[in-house]
Structure 1
Amino acid sequence: MSRQDGIGGDWLPWLIPGFALVNLVVFVPLWLGGTLAALLTGHGWQPPPFTLQVYVRLVSGATQELWPGVPSYLVYGGAVALVLAGAAPLALLVRGFVRRRREPRSLARPRELSAMTGKGLEARARDLRPGLKDVARLHPDDTGNLLGDLVPAGPELRSSYEDVELDLMAPRAGKSTGIAIPRVLRAPGPVLLTSNKSDVFTVTRQERTRVGRVWTFDPQGIAYTERDMWWDMLSGCDTIEGARRLAGHFVSSVNDDSSKKDFWIAAAQNTLTALFLAASRSGATVNDLLAWLADPADRTPVDLLRDVGMTAMADQLQGTVRGAVETRDGIYETARQCVACLLDPEILAWVSPDPYRPQFIPEQHVLGRDTLYLLSKDGGGSAAGVIAGLADSVIRAGVVAAERMGGRLDPPMTAILDEAANVCRISDLPDLYSHLGSRGISVVTLLQSYRQGVRVWGEAGMDALWSAATVKLLGAGLDDADFVDKVARLVGQHDVRTPSYSRSKDGSSRSVSYRQEQVLPADKIRALPKGTALLLATGVRPALIRLRPWFREPNAGPIAAAAKAEVQAITDRAAASWSRRESRQVG
Structure 2
Amino acid sequence: MSEAAAKGRGYGSELAPWAIVLVAGAGAVLFGGVWLGGTLGAALTGSGWHPPPFTLATFGTFLSDGPAHLWPGAPAAGVFFGVALVFGSAVAAAVLTARRVLRYVSRPRGLADNRELAALAPAGIAERARDLRPSLKGRAHLHPDETGNLLGDLAPNGPELRSSFEDVELDLMAPRAGKSTGIAVPRVLRAQGAVLLTSNKSDVYAVTRAAREKAGRVWTFDPQGIAHTPRTMWWDILSDCHTIEGARRLAGHFVASVNDDQSKKDFWISAAQNTLTSLFLAAARGGASVLDLLAWLADPADRTPIDLLRDVDMTAMAEQLQGTVRGAVETRDGIYETARQCVACLLDPEIVAWVTPDPALAQFKPHQHVLGRDTLYLLSKDGGGSAAGVIAGLADTTMRAGVVAAERMGGRLDPPMTAVLDEAANVCRISDLPDLYSHFGSRGINVVTLLQSYRQGSRVWGEAGMDALWSAATIKLLGAGLDDADFVEKISKLVGNQDVRTASVSRSKDGTSRSYSYRLDPVLPADRIRALPKGTALLLATGVRPALIRLRPWYKEPDAGVISAAAKAETAAITERATRSWTASAGPADGASRWERDAVSLRKP
Whether the 8 Å CA contact 1:474–1:535 is kept in 2: the answer is yes
Partner of 1:458: 462
Q: 1:43 to 1:474 in 2, by over 3 A?
A: closer
Q: 1:18 to 1:201 in 2, by over 3 A?
A: same
Paired with 1:528 and 1:411, the residues of 2 have a C-alpha distance of 35
Verify: 1:250 aligned to 2:259, yes or no: no
Partner of 1:359: 363
Partner of 2:429: 425
Which of 559, 568, 576 matches 1:564?
Answer: 568
Partner of 1:512: 516
Unaligned runs of 5+ in 1: none
Query: 1:191: how far off?
Result: 1.1
Paired with 2:16 and 2:426, the residues of 1 have a C-alpha distance of 71
SS of 2:127's equivalent?
A: helix
Q: Which amino acid aligns with 1:421?
A: A
Q: 1:181 to 1:71 in 2, by over 3 A?
A: same
Paired with 1:175 and 1:25, the residues of 2 have a C-alpha distance of 50
Q: 1:267 to 1:73 in 2, by over 3 A?
A: same
When the two structures are superposed, what TM-score results if normalisation uses the length of structure 2? 0.89
Whether the 8 Å CA contact 2:196–2:418 is kept in 1: the answer is yes
Whether the 8 Å CA contact 1:534–1:545 is kept in 2: the answer is yes
Q: Which amino acid aligns with 1:194?
A: T
Query: 1:101: how far off?
Result: 0.6
Whether the 8 Å CA contact 1:99–1:153 is kept in 2: the answer is no
Partner of 2:319: 315
Whether the 8 Å CA contact 1:191–1:370 is kept in 2: the answer is yes
Q: How many residues align?
A: 587
Matches within 5 A, 1:442-457: 442-457=446-461
Partner of 1:479: 483
Paired with 2:55 and 2:188, the residues of 1 have a C-alpha distance of 70
Verify: 1:374 aligned to 2:387, yes or no: no
Q: 1:265 to 1:22 in 2, by over 3 A?
A: closer
Partner of 1:299: 303
Greater mean alpha carbon deviation, residues 472-481 or residues 352-361: 472-481
Q: Which amino acid aligns with 1:380?
A: G
Q: Which amino acid aligns with 1:112?
A: E
Paired with 1:481 and 1:30, the residues of 2 have a C-alpha distance of 58
SS of 1:486's equivalent?
A: helix
Greater mean alpha carbon deviation, residues 456-465 or residues 265-274: 265-274
Paired with 1:585 and 1:299, the residues of 2 have a C-alpha distance of 47
Structure 1, residues 321-376: CA drift from partner, whole Å, max 9, x if none?
Answer: 23333322222222111111111111110000001111111111111111111111
Partner of 2:269: 265
Paired with 1:189 and 1:270, the residues of 2 have a C-alpha distance of 36
Whether the 8 Å CA contact 1:224–1:573 is kept in 2: the answer is yes
Paired with 2:511 and 2:115, the residues of 1 have a C-alpha distance of 44
Greater mean alpha carbon deviation, residues 38-47 or residues 400-409: 38-47
Partner of 1:107: 111
Whether the 8 Å CA contact 1:61–1:72 is kept in 2: the answer is no
Whether the 8 Å CA contact 2:425–2:460 is kept in 1: the answer is yes
Partner of 2:602: none
Partner of 2:354: 350
Paired with 1:360 and 1:108, the residues of 2 have a C-alpha distance of 44
Partner of 1:171: 175
Structure 1, residues 515-538: CA drift from partner, whole Å, max 9, x if none?
Answer: 111112222222222222221111
SS of 2:316's equivalent?
A: helix
Paired with 1:15 and 1:274, the residues of 2 have a C-alpha distance of 90
Paired with 1:457 and 1:36, the residues of 2 have a C-alpha distance of 71
Partner of 1:545: 549
Q: 1:115 to 1:68 in 2, by over 3 A?
A: same
Q: Which amino acid aligns with 1:475?
A: G
SS of 1:111's equivalent?
A: coil
Whether the 8 Å CA contact 1:164–1:433 is kept in 2: the answer is yes
Query: 1:95: how far off?
Result: 4.3
Which of 399, 406, 409 matches 1:405?
Answer: 409
Q: 1:286 to 1:67 in 2, by over 3 A?
A: closer
Partner of 1:200: 204
Q: Which amino acid aligns with 1:139?
A: H
Structure 1, residues 465-497: CA drift from partner, whole Å, max 9, x if none?
Answer: 000001111122222222121111111111111
Q: 1:517 to 1:278 in 2, by over 3 A?
A: same
Paired with 1:32 and 1:549, the residues of 2 have a C-alpha distance of 45
Q: 1:170 to 1:13 in 2, by over 3 A?
A: same
Q: 1:327 to 1:313 in 2, by over 3 A?
A: same
Q: Which amino acid aligns with 2:174?
A: A
Paired with 1:218 and 1:40, the residues of 2 have a C-alpha distance of 68
SS of 1:189's equivalent?
A: coil
SS of 2:516's equivalent?
A: strand
Percent identical residues = 73
Query: 1:411: how far off?
Result: 1.5
Query: 1:556: how far off?
Result: 2.0
Paired with 1:20 and 1:234, the residues of 2 have a C-alpha distance of 87
Paired with 1:495 and 1:26, the residues of 2 have a C-alpha distance of 41
RMSD, aligned α-carbons: 2.9
Query: 1:82: how far off?
Result: 6.2
Paired with 2:165 and 2:31, the residues of 1 have a C-alpha distance of 60
Greater mean alpha carbon deviation, residues 365-374 or residues 126-135: 126-135
Whether the 8 Å CA contact 1:499–1:510 is kept in 2: the answer is yes
Whether the 8 Å CA contact 1:433–1:468 is kept in 2: the answer is yes
Unaligned runs of 5+ in 2: 592-605
Matches within 5 A, 1:82-121: 93-121=97-125
